[in-house]
């Protein structure tokens, strides 16, 4: 019996200690010193082809992929960053090289690339974007369109020093 | 025409519509224009698989007019084999279309929730096939088979309903609802039939 009582005491003591630790942990200010870096999304790198060329637009266009690139921490816009974009569109599959293209961010860290209309593939209408130029840690994104009828899609990068 | 044969004709018309309408509408999907043949075949293998899922419980439980008893059961085995082939074509075709997406799905690391359900249903089907081929004399076979059948049915329905693909949503929902009802009634009805057989 004493063993059981002892166990219960240990449990209560341990539980209390855990609670205090948890509560204290909550009171410690979160280490969110500004803007947190964007994590790669699941499946973001699927059908990635390295070195997509910088293009005026992918194929015939008609659909806009837009977004921003900022620096983790202070959130400063990053100009001249190369973003690669690919998707299953009306003009080709994700794996087709002609479905891939890249663009650079402007002085405000904004990128905009015209491409063919994205159509649902593998169950969702979605696009792929990559940052892998090396100055910052590589990030792969896979945003999903809220409707297959949308004619634009956006994705935002917050990059961390590599 | 007797009441029984009218009922038989109506049953078969319903089943024919539940299966053919989704396939005919899917065959007119604009998405097909932007897919390669292997991707299209893979998608339709999935729809055919769902149609087989509608027949399976009805064959097993002698619910189909003219296909009762041993005829129904031997057809149940045949359609079961067809379902296995359909699922293999479905997964293989998707693999050829986009290997990394299928690898993600099989490893349960896919960003799309529907693929998890599909993969669960696939494994439940593989286990069912294995048990049906080699362990049908097991004492718990019936219970094992019904549990796996429920997993296949649930996984397949959730998988299909969450996908934005070539199937038109209403006809897809009708087929899925029919698969659910057929499985539910098939299991319940089969139990009742077994009980009355025991009573004899």
Mean pLDDT of chain A: 87
Interface of A with B (CB under 8 A): 41-47, 88-90, 93-95, 119-125, 142, 148
Least confident of A42-51, B46-55, B65-74, B124-133: B65-74
Q: Which residues pair with A102 in a beta bridge?
A: A54, A84
Give how far A120 is from chain B: nearest CA, Å.
6
Q: Which residue of B has its CA nearest to A142?
A: B111
Can you tell me the ipTM of this complex? 0.85
- Residues A126, A142 contacting (CB under 8 angstroms): yes
* Residue A46 to chain B, least CA–CA distance (Å): 6
Q: Is the distance from CB of A128 to CB of B71 less than 8 angstroms? A: no
Residue A1 has pLDDT above 50, yes or no: no
Q: Would you say residue A77 has pLDDT above 60?
A: yes
Determine whether the interchain pair B98/A142 forms a contact, defined as Cβ–Cβ distance below 8 Å.
no
Mean pLDDT of B47-59: 97
What's the pLDDT at A27?
A: 47
- The beta-strand segments (E) located in chain A are 63-71, 82-87, 100-104, 110-115, 127-131, 139-141, 152-159
Q: How far is A48 from chain B (nearest CA, A)?
A: 10
Q: How far is A65 from chain B (nearest CA, A)?
A: 20
Separation of alpha carbons B105 and B154, rounded Å: 17
Which pLDDT value is given to residue A28? 47
CA angle A127, A131, A132 (to 5 degrees): 130
- How buried is B86 (Cβ within 10 angstroms: 0-12 exposed, 13-18 middle, 19+ buried)? buried
> What is the pLDDT averaged over residues B36-61?
97
Q: Is the separation of the CB atoms in A127 and A87 below 8 Å?
A: yes
**Strands A127-131 and A82-87, bridge-based pairing:** antiparallel
Comparing A34 with B25, the larger pLDDT belongs to B25
pLDDT at B13: 96
**Residue listed under structure tokens 């004619």:** A151
pLDDT bucket at A14, cuts 50 / 70 / 90: low
Q: Which chain A residues are within 8 Å of B114, Cβ to Cβ?
A: 123
**Which chain B residues are Cβ-neighbours of A142 within 8 angstroms?**
111
Arithmetic mean of pLDDT, B50-68: 93
Q: What is the pLDDT of residue A20?
A: 52
A-B contacts at Cβ under 8 angstroms: 53
What is chain B's alpha carbon radius of gyration, rounded to the nearest angstrom? 18
Nearest CB to B165: which of A45, A94, A120?
A: A120
Q: Which residues make beta-bridge pairs with A159?
A: A71
Q: Kindly report, residue by residue over A117-153, the tens digit of the pLDDT.
A: 999 999 999 999 999 999 999 999 999 999 999 999 9
pLDDT surpasses 50 at A51: yes
Measured between beta carbons, which residues in chain A are less than 8 angstroms from residue B106?
none
Looking at the partner chain, which of B98, B109, B165 has a beta carbon nearest the beta carbon of A95? B98
Q: If DSSP codes are grouped into helix, strand and coil, which group holds residue B157?
A: helix
pLDDT greater than 50 at residue B117: yes
Residues of A in contact with B112 (CB under 8 A): 43, 122-124
Beta carbons within 10 angstroms of residue B196's beta carbon: 9
pLDDT at A9: 53
Closest-CA distance of chain A to residue B110, Å: 6
Instruction: Decide: helix, strand or coil at residue A43.
Output: coil
Q: Is the pLDDT of residue B191 over 60?
A: no
pLDDT band for position A37 (50/70/90)? very high
Question: What are the chain B neighbours of A129 within 8 Å (beta carbons)?
Answer: none
Residue A38 has pLDDT above 60, yes or no: yes
């Amino acid at each position: 019996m004493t063993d059981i009582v002892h166990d219960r005491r240990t449990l209560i003591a341990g539980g209390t200690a855990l609670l205090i630790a948890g509560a204290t942990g909550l009171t410690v200010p979160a280490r969110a010193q500004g803007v947190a870096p964007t994590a790669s999304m699941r499946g973001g790198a699927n059908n990635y082809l390295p070195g997509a060329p910088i293009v005026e637009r992918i194929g015939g266009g008609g659909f806009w992929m837009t977004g921003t690139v900022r620096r983790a921490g202070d959130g400063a816009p990053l100009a001249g960053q190369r973003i690669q974009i690919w998707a299953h569109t009306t003009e080709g599959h994700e794996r087709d090289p002609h479905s891939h293209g890249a663009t650079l961010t402007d002085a405000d860290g904004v990128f905009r690339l015209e491409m063919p209309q994205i159509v649902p593939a593998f169950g969702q209408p979605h696009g792929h974007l990559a940052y892998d130029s090396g100055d910052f840690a590589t990030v792969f994104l896979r945003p999903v369109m809220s409707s297959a009828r949308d004619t634009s899609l956006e994705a935002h990068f917050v990059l961390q020093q590599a | 025409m007797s009441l029984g044969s009218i009922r038989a004709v109506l049953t078969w018309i319903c089943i024919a519509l539940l299966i053919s309408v989704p396939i005919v509408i899917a065959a007119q999907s604009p998405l097909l224009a932007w897919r390669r043949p292997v991707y299209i075949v893979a998608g339709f293998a999935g729809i055919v698989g769902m149609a087989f899922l509608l027949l399976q419980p009805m064959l097993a439980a002698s619910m189909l007019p003219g296909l009762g008893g041993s005829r129904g059961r031997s057809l149940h085995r045949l359609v079961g084999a067809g379902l296995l082939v359909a699922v293999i074509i479905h997964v293989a075709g998707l693999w050829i279309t986009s290997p990394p997406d299928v690898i993600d799905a099989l490893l349960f690391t896919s960003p799309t929730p529907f693929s998890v359900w599909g993969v669960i249903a696939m494994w439940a089907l593989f286990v069912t096939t294995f048990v049906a081929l080699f362990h049908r004399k097991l004492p718990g076979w019936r219970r094992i088979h019904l549990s796996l059948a429920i997993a296949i049915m649930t996984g397949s329905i959730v998988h299909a309903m969450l996908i934005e693909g070539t199937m038109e949503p209403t006809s897809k929902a009708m087929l899925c609802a029919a698969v659910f009802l057929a499985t539910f009634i098939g299991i319940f009805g089969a139990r009742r039939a077994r009980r009355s057989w025991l009573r004899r």
